[in-house]
């Protein structure tokens, strides 16, 4: 689509958004804002954002609700991320007691529920009193079959083991596993983690240096990019970004004015 200003394109298949840097899209519900490239395949994403190089496993089905995926995040199949929660101490935990049309428009389409459920004018909802957003950090890895509670923050570089149940925030570069998930170990030493968080390499365009480093060598690669940053050779990664919404079975794509992580990328 080039580098023009805001654009709107009507599509009948998420596959047709490849030219806009999105691989997949048939599972988008509500809206998705993303930086290119993003690989979401047919997974179900409702009102999410995805940083550049976000990658979902091509197999299986993952559901994500109001989740903000950092750049280079990796998501295994069969995971449930940030699902809505219901009140456990109300007269009823069913949506008829607490939802609103703006949160669950489909359920209100049937007259039976609309007659029982609260109207928009009913005032603040239970949904407005609990965390809405879930955050998956840059280069974080979510193993297959994991559950991440709504409102949780997975730190940059963190790893969630397969089939884990994450109910609390996970520190950067920690490896957690289990139900409930607990820290197994850190990916790197404290000094390496400190340097990685200071560098924030995901802010920069690494492509020009892909043949100059061996990514298997952590300290050597880290030292190389620290040197490149110090001498001004690293340039911000500022990919095109888009907002996609589903309307009447079609996908509408609109070009955004700047990357989702523009503010961070600008601090060079």
143-174 per-position pLDDT tens digit: 999 999 999 999 999 999 999 999 999 999 99
Residue 241, number of CB atoms within 10 A of its CB: 25
Cα 116 versus chain centre, distance: 34
Structure tokens that stand for 143 in this block:
């193993």
Check residue 12 and give its pLDDT.
54
Q: Does the structure show a pLDDT above 80 at 6?
A: no
Q: Number of C-alpha atoms within 13 angstroms, CB side, residue 102?
A: 9
Task: Express each pLDDT in 43-54 by its tens digit.
Answer: 999 999 999 999
Number of domains making up the chain: 1
Report pLDDT for 71. 98
4 CB contacts (<8 Å, ≥6 apart)?
Answer: 255
Domain that holds residue 178: 13-188+241-255
Average pLDDT score over the chain: 91
β-partners of residue 35 are: 241
Give the span between the Cα atoms of 91 and 179, in whole angstroms.
Answer: 29
pTM over 0.85: yes
Q: Tokens 């709107």 map to which residue?
A: 8
- Here the CATH number for the domain that contains residue 145 is 2.160.10.10
Give the mean pLDDT of 24-38. 93
Q: Which of 43, 86, 94, 261 is catalytic?
A: 86
Would you say residue 183 lies in a domain?
Answer: yes
- Domain membership of residue 8 (yes or no) is no
Is residue 43 annotated as part of the catalytic site, yes or no?
A: no
Most confident of 24-28, 84-88, 100-104, 136-140: 136-140
4 found inside a domain: no
**What string of DSSP letters covers 65-127?**
ESEEEPTT-EE-TT-EES-----SSSS--SGGGT--TTT-TTGGGSHHHHHHSPPGGG-S-GG
pLDDT band at 15; cut points 50, 70, 90 = low
Q: What number is the average pLDDT over the span 204-209? A: 97
Per-residue pLDDT of 190-204, as tens digits, reads 999 999 999 999 999
197 Cβ contact partners less than 8 Å away, ≥ 6 residues apart:
156, 172, 173
- The answer to whether residue 136 is domain-embedded is yes
Tell whether 193 is covered by a domain.
no
Residues 6 or more apart in contact with residue 240 via CB below 8 angstroms:
3, 20, 21, 35, 36, 255, 256, 259
Q: Is 208 within the bounds of a domain?
A: no
Report yes or no on 224 lying in a domain. no
Residue 262: inside a domain:
no
**Residue 188 near residue 196 (C-beta atoms within 8 A):** yes
């Amino acid at each position: 689509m080039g580098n023009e200003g805001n654009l709107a394109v009507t599509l009948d298949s998420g596959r047709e958004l490849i030219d806009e840097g999105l691989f997949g899209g048939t599972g988008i519900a509500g809206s998705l804002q993303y930086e290119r490239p993003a690989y979401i395949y047919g997974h179900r994403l409702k009102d999410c954002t995805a940083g550049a190089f976000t990658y979902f496993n091509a197999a299986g089905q993952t559901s994500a609700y109001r989740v903000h995926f950092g750049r280079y995040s990796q998501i295994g199949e069969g995971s449930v991320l940030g699902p809505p929660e219901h009140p456990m101490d109300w007269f009823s935990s069913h949506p008829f007691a607490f939802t609103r049309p703006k949160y669950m428009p489909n359920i209100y389409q049937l007259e039976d529920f609309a007659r029982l459920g609260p109207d928009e004018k009913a005032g603040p909802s239970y949904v407005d009193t609990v965390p809405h957003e879930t955050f998956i950090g840059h280069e974080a890895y979510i193993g297959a079959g994991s559950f991440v509670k709504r409102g949780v923050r997975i730190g940059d570089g963190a790893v969630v083991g397969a089939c884990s149940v994450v109910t609390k925030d996970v520190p950067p570069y920690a490896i957690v596993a289990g139900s409930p998930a607990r820290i197994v170990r850190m990916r790197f030493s404290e000094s390496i983690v400190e340097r990685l968080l200071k560098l924030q390499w995901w802010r920069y365009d690494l492509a020009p240096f892909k043949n100059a480093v061996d990514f298997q060598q952590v300290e050597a690669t880290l030292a190389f990019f620290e040197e490149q940053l110090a001498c001004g050779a690293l340039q911000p990664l500022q990919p095109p970004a888009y907002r996609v919404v589903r309307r009447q079975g079609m996908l509408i794509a609109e070009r955004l004015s700047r990357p989702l992580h523009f503010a961070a990328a600008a601090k060079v």
